[in-house]
Structure 1
Amino acid sequence: MKYKLVMDIEINSVEDLKKLRTIVEANNLDKPNFSEIARNLGIDRRTAKKYYLGDDKKERKKKKSVIDKYYTIIEELLSENSTQVFYYKDHLFRYLQREHGLNCTRNNFNYYILNHEEFAKYFRPKGNSNAIKSEKPFGEQAQFDWKEKINFTFKNGEKIIINVGSLILSASRFKVWTIYPSVSLDCVLDFLANSFEIIGGVPKEILIDNATTMMLKARTESNEGIVNPKFQQFADDYGFKVVPCIAGRPNTKSKVENPMRVIDEIIAYNGTLNNLEELHEKLEQITNEANSRICQGTGVPPILVYKKEKEHLSPLPQEKICSFYKISTIKATVNLNALFHYKKKMYSVPSEFIGKKVTIQVIENNLHAYYNKKLIAVHEIVENKKIIYNEHHHLDMLKQTFKKHEDIEDYAKKHLKELEKFNEQLSEFM
């Protein structure tokens, strides 16, 4: 077999160097003069050799991300040992913004999570339900629902079950979210009465589900259902129409159902908060952020559209009617020991409210203390104690009293034990 060997080759570009190497190796020739080739092509000798050897792919250095410094924090938050729960990447993103000063776009954060398999597998895709998109005029409708039975754990290990009432104006998507211990009708009426005050008026209709607290008989495709007479009276007094959704059609309340996942953000604080007051404050922050973010449905933050929708709401009824539907409240003055009186017992509030009048609301077996409609303390109603001090209120009070005292926390624990003994002694006479 005879082969016609090509002994000459023109080198016009660096790409031709790969062909040159093939010929040189096939014919067992000496390596070319890279310096001469480099001069002819006007390139560096090392560049010529690199292309000859086929090592022309640029090694790109992995670009560092501003999120890299949060890697350990994210790893801890998403670990199996963490008590905190993040149902969506958005929840984790906003938590890191609030609590750790993360400064990046949401798209970059999502990209970072998805490109780290150890983080991406934590989140599961959510199925999308089909629904016909419909809109209501300003002031026409609000949608009400509960986010029920949320398990929450405080920093000290105490576990509670909370429910979050949700009222959303259909046109502006403005949201009101509040924590309640139960979903009883009394809590429903209290939540709606207070929510109407917050939004400054009453929508023409309220879309509800078929919960037995509001509906004696569920609405179906074949019948209109029966509204609980007490809830219907509330609706008549406030001047709105009750519109139950058809049973089995959750998409009817999509404007209130879809944002429910934002309420789940509260679970991100599992094991990090001290008490119910802090939990209320954190939900208030989450609510304000949700009302300030651009809504995907309207393209505008709800707070901006709400200012226009508020003009179309019906006026509130007389104060006497409003107060009738709210959970019973009393007024109390905080004494110099940061305590207020309720049924011959004394309960604590933060020391900054000494001398001020607070509003006490009795919800089931708990006292909720408010100042200017802001929750400042929650106490369980007790029968066998005379003085009930919240541990944080007690420590705060002692710090105010003994400003230069060393080991004030140890002294506070000792003092609380003395109060417990005092309560035990008094209980014999109660």
Structure 2
Amino acid sequence: MRKDIHEGIEIYVINKIKPNYAALAQKYDCDYRTVKSAYEKAKLRKTNQYTQFRKKRSSKLDPYKDIVEEKLNQHCSAYSIFTFIQKKGFQGSYTLVKNYCRNYKQEKIKKATIRVEHQPGLSAQVDWKENMKLTTIDGEVIEFNIFLYVLPYSKKKYFTLTFDRKQDTLFECLYKAFQYTGGVPKEIWFDNMRTVVDHSRTQYSKVQFNERFYAFSKDANFVPVACRPFRPQTKGCVEALARTVDRLKVYNREFHDSDELNDLIDEFCIDLNNEISQSANQSPNMLWKLNEKKYLHNLSKDALTSYFGYFIRRKVTKEAMIIFRKCRYSVDPHYIGKELDVKLSDNEKQIYLYYNGELIRMHDLTTKNLNYNEEDYFKILKSDVMSHKTDEEIRKFTIESLKQYDLVEVENDD
């Protein structure tokens, strides 16, 4: 059907005017029967009768739609579903599966969701802003994540930079969020992240929380709530926060290293908590202080100690450092790119670094940004910027540099 004829005839249908077929045929340079047919089809569409005259075509995907929907509810990708049903006899194209998955997700999102009443101290919402990338002044690309935590009633926020999304990192971030917001709410809402949920809820089964995470929630005294797939509205506050942190992009090429980036993120969190909300005409900090903080229950000092006595895994950066509690600790550059186990001493005054079960380094636990072992620092310099120097020259430079680091840290503490 020609688009110009279709659009022209719609006017007559809308205004309920019977057209002059001959005149319109002359206007559009076509047979009058073409105009008449267009008019009759437009009338049928107007009264929702046209669809019954169209022959419904079967799809190669029809026998597999139940499988596709079940796998989508388990957060499987369209391509993985495509390869899965191919082995079960599906003969169609990947595009057919991809389009069906996209339409299914959009339809799910449009459906009404349960209404969440934001009462003081009732709940918090958690998510990650994943795989963000910003570039330093020197052109180094830093890829990172941001842990997001928000109290929906007051909109009090806590977020922080992380370099992974492992369960130990989640526990550490939650613990710091409890400290930052002055207590623990009755329930915390999560999406179906693998560090929280072993099996997400579907129409056939209930959600199954990870055993260690569930024990953590019991000890912290909150009820975990897993949001249903494709229902972002149920965590609207933290979803909005995830969009807000995109404002960090303004700092692209405006910082020197990850330490400075971390400081920018902490400062941004403080700024957001002091911004006046148009809806409440108060800042999140003020609303939290006046109406919400008193409803959060206190966390026992020793309630979560056991979770931080486990080995925590950290990847060695290309600077031959691991990051723990926002501070950096050196190792031999031989371990760059490898994952190490980090364990706290019983008195939490030292950290021990293990590779394949072997202790490779011990550091005092400090609040200093940079913590170098002298031998590590020597090898780092020798492997890169001072490779052309003699060992004696490098050793002398190492001793002087570490003295300067100590002086800088002392000045910062003062």
Residue 296 of structure 2: aligned partner: 313
Q: Which of residues 243, 246, 263 in structure 2 aligns to 1:261?
A: 243
Q: Return the alpha-carbon distance in structure 2 between the equivalents of residues 362 and 278 of structure 1.
A: 26
Residue in 2 aligned with 1:196? Answer: 178
The answer to whether the Cα contact below 8 Å between 2:129 and 2:145 also exists between their aligned partners in 1 is: yes
The aligned counterpart of 1:153 is: 135
Confirm or deny that 1:246 pairs with 2:228: yes
Q: Does 1:422 align with 2:394?
A: yes
Q: Provide closer, same or farther for how the CA distance between residues 385 and 135 of structure 1 changes in structure 2, counting only shifts above 3 A.
A: same
**In the alignment, does 2:376 pair up with 1:377?**
no
Note the alpha carbon deviations across 1:268-298, whole angstroms, 9 max, x for none. Answer: 1111101112111111111111111122443
Is the contact between residue 123 and residue 152 of structure 2 (CA under 8 Å) also seen in structure 1? Answer: yes
Does 1:224 find its partner at 2:206?
yes
Q: Secondary structure at the match of 1:206?
A: strand
Q: Percent identity?
A: 26
Helix, strand or coil at the partner of 2:304: helix
Give ranges in structure 2 of 5+ residues lacking alignment: 1-108, 313-327, 334-347, 356-360, 399-414
The alignment status of 1:302 with 2:284, answered yes or no, reads yes
Q: How do 1:100-111 and structure 2 match up within 5 A?
A: none
**C-alpha displacement at 1:225, in angstroms?**
1.1
Describe how 1:339-378 pairs up with structure 2 within 5 A.
Answer: 371=367, 376-377=368-369
Structure 1 position 324 matched with structure 2 position 307: yes
Give 2:196's aligned residue: 214
| 2:330–2:372 Cα contact (<8 Å) kept | no
CA shift in 2, pair 1:387/1:298, >3 Å: farther
Work out which of the two has the higher radius of gyration on C-alpha atoms and give 1 or 2: 1
Aligned residue pair count: 251
Written as runs of structure 1 = structure 2, the 5 A alignment for 1:369-408 is 371=367, 376-377=368-369, 385-386=377-378
1:171 aligns with 2:153: yes
Alignment match, 1:34: none
1:418: Cα distance to partner?
7.3
Q: Could you list the per-position Cα deviations for residues 91-113 of structure 1 after superposition, in whole angstroms to 9, with x for gaps in the alignment?
A: xxxxxxxxxxxxxxxxxxxxxxx
Does the 8 Å CA contact 1:327/1:361 hold for their aligned counterparts? no
The answer to whether the 8 A contact 1:327-1:362 is kept is no
Match for 1:196: what amino acid?
F
**What is the rounded CA distance, in whole Å, between the counterparts of 1:140 and 1:384 in structure 2?**
48
Q: Name stretches of at least 5 consecutive residues in structure 1 with no aligned partner.
A: 1-127, 330-339, 346-357, 390-412
Compared CA separation, residues 153 and 344, structure 1 to 2 (3 A):
closer
Provide Cα deviations, 1:57-112, integer angstroms capped at 9, x if missing partner: xxxxxxxxxxxxxxxxxxxxxxxxxxxxxxxxxxxxxxxxxxxxxxxxxxxxxxxx
Amino acid at match of 1:228: N
The amino acid of 1:259's aligned partner reads L
Aligned to 2:280, what secondary structure does the other structure show? coil
AA aligned to 1:422 is I
1:134-190 Cα shifts (integer Å, max 9, x gaps): 432111100000000001211122222100001101111100010000001111011
Quick check: 1:201–1:316 contact (8 Å CA) kept in 2?
yes
Which of 266, 270, 275 in structure 2 is aligned with 1:284?
A: 266
* Alpha-carbon distance, 1:237 to partner: 0.4
The structure whose residues are more often helix, as a share, is 2
Structure 1 416/176 Cα, relative in aligned 2: closer, same or farther at 3 Å?
farther
Q: Is the 8 A contact 2:349 2:365 kept in 1?
A: yes
Once the two structures are TM-superposed, the CA of residue 265 in structure 1 deviates from its matched residue by 1.8
Query: For the Cα contact (< 8 Å) 1:147–1:166, is it kept in 2?
Result: yes
- Check conservation: 1:144, 1:168, Cα contact below 8 A: yes
Residues 1:171 and 1:418: Cα distance change in structure 2 (over 3 Å)? farther
Deviation sequence 1:228-254 (CA, Å, 0-9, x none): 111101000001001000011111110
Shift of 1:209: 0.3
> Hey, what's the Cα distance between the residues in 2 that align with 1:171 and 1:246?
21
| 1:222 CA drift (Å) | 4.5
Distance 1:417 1:144, change over 3 A: farther
Is the CA contact 1:150–1:163 (under 8 Å) kept in the aligned structure 2?
yes
Aligned-partner Cα distance in 1 for 2:155–2:139: 36
CA pair 171-130 structure 1, distance change in 2 beyond 3 A: farther
Rounded Cα–Cα distance in structure 1 between residues aligned with 2:241 and 2:349: 31
Q: Partner amino acid for 1:324? A: Y
User: Any conservation in 2 of the 1:368–1:378 contact (CA below 8 Å)?
Assistant: no
| TM-score normalized with structure 1 length | 0.50
Distance 1:223 1:283, change over 3 A: same
The separation in 1 between residues aligned to 2:353 and 2:247, in whole angstroms, is: 25
- Aligned partners of 1:285, 1:416: CA distance in 2, in Å? 41
Partners in 1 of 2:373 and 2:231 — Cα distance? Answer: 40
For 1:422 and 1:209, the matched residues in 2 are separated by 51
Partner of 1:91: none
Matches within 5 A, 1:85-100: none
Report Cα offsets for 1:18-74 as digits up to 9, x if no partner: xxxxxxxxxxxxxxxxxxxxxxxxxxxxxxxxxxxxxxxxxxxxxxxxxxxxxxxxx
**What root-mean-square deviation, in Å, do the aligned CA atoms of Structure 1 and Structure 2 show?**
4.4
